[in-house]
Amino acid sequence: MPRLTIILKKIKQTKWWVEEGPGSCFLFDYIMKTFTQAEKIIRYPTLREMITVTKDNINLEITPYDEKRDNFFYIYKHELKQTGYFKNLLKNWAPLRRALLKLNQIIINGLHHYSTHQLTSLLKKFTQTSFSAVIYGAFIECVDPFSEEELPKFQARYRLQNQTAQNYFASLATPTRRSFLTQEKIDFLKLCLGEITAGRYCRNYYWINTNYRESMDFSRQLLRQKIKRELSNTGRSKIKTAIKKTIQAENNLISQKRKIITKLRLTSADKTLFKLLALFGQSIDIRKESMLRQTYSRDKLAQEISRRLSLDINIVRAMRDEEAIKILKGGKIDLEKIRSRNKIYAVYYTPRGETEFYGQAALAIYNTWLKTIKSAQIKGIVASAPVKKLAGKVSVVMDVNRENFQSGTILVTSMTRPEFMPLMRRAKAVITDEGGVTCHAAIISRELGIPCIIGTKNATQMLKNGDKIELDLQSGIIKIIR
């Protein structure tokens, strides 16, 4: 395996695609392993290397930009030759997701009555099935770097103004299938109106606020407070209107696509491209829902191991699968080393295996990456522009469950996830480090009608809570005006 000096050199010389958010080893390590193994499905060298750094329970996922983009080009090239190529790649994915749903149900039904041997076997089976399913999600993620590069080419190809190109590209690439987040939004609004019960809502969405550090359970009391707040702030009449608008927007998307295709006279290759991008977007949505369910269940396994072995839950969450299995079998593991992962910890992954780094070595990896993204300018892709310019104060939020957000401020984060929805509804605008024009932040911001700039790479590092900034929603440039 490469020495630390070689890895530091690679970080400096490589263009990286970065995702960041709350994370604990037990809930994300097995996912990271799948990225360098995805060629088993795609039959093309996917990611030859990737790096994760966990610092103070925030996980940084660093993957080679060019390799992710090239994976999409490979699939697109084959889709042009053979319609249905991408769908065929995914043919064995659905049975694995169904198997996971069954295991999820077993876990959430309760584990107290399981013997330690049965619990160990369940963890092994769940890990193996999860790994097999998540491999599909690993290569699906390659679409974001491609769309980031393709947008300016699309604009030039059809001689479009900047914002028009972004709107057209986003509409053409957006899936027409309803996302799980849109369905959750509709169901929550119906819950507020009394059209569905709290029991039904909780059964369907008990996992919705989970992240890769910990599971978050619904409290009926908190849910009642959330409903009361929605009714107070919005009112029944506006809630009904919001449901109708959401459904109407889905119907409008289909006609929008047809009009754009006709107006631009899209080439055959571009028609294939946008159908493929929409399929990728749909698959990413399916993956996200499945991952949240899996992560919730994995954390329930961690909680049971913690209870059974009288271990601090944060130590269990810092374990890798093989360590959790070993300790359940009565073996000895290095608890001090595991505990230190909650402070600073890095892993270098390749198809051949992983190398771990602790302490100063892990910190060197983190600091070297940090230097590569710090620059004088903050600039990204404009994903939503209801106005030309906007000014406001910044709220940087990396973990919704542990950091406060001030209503009416500009939300700055690495990338938005389902648990960010309540914050986005109260935000003046949204800025993210990562994401393409069809990412979660872009789609939801357009739906909410608020400004959004994505893919800045460095906003969370350059901006601080309370900074006053100005967003130029034509150029994508963000200025600190203090």
CB 468, CB 393: distance < 8 Å: yes
DSSP code of 420?
Answer: G
Question: What is the residue-level pLDDT of the chain in tens, covering all 482 positions?
Answer: 578 999 999 999 998 888 888 999 999 999 999 989 888 888 888 788 999 999 988 899 999 989 988 999 999 999 999 999 999 999 999 999 999 999 999 999 999 999 999 999 999 999 999 999 999 988 888 887 887 788 889 999 999 988 888 889 989 998 999 989 889 989 999 999 999 999 999 999 999 989 999 998 888 888 999 899 899 988 999 999 999 988 998 889 999 999 999 999 999 999 999 999 999 989 989 999 999 999 999 999 999 999 999 999 999 999 999 999 999 999 999 999 999 998 999 999 999 899 999 999 999 999 999 888 877 689 988 888 899 999 999 999 998 888 889 999 999 999 888 788 889 989 999 999 988 777 888 888 888 889 999 989 899 989 999 999 999 998 899 999 97
In sequence order, what DSSP letters do the residues of 362-413 get, joined into one string? HHHHHHHHHHHH--S-EE-EEEE-SSSEEEEEEEE-S-TTTS---TTSEEEE
Per-residue tokens: 293: 């369910």
Phi-psi group of 207: left, alpha or beta (phi > 0 → left; psi -120 to 50 → alpha; rest → beta): alpha
Q: Which residues contact 425 (CB under 8 A, 6 or more apart)?
A: 448
Q: How many other CB atoms are there within 10 angstroms of residue 21's CB atom?
A: 22
What are the domain boundaries of the chain?
4-156+276-373, 180-271, 378-480
Q: Does domain 378-480 have CATH number 3.50.30.10?
A: yes
Closest CA to 347 of 13, 33, 5, 135: 33
DSSP code of 337?
Answer: H
CB 452, CB 383: distance < 8 Å: yes
Q: How many other CB atoms are there within 10 angstroms of residue 203's CB atom?
A: 9
Instruction: For residue 83, report the phi and psi dihedrals to the nearest 5 degrees.
Output: -60, 130
pTM of the model: 0.91
Instruction: For residue 19, report the phi and psi dihedrals to the nearest 5 degrees.
Output: -130, 145
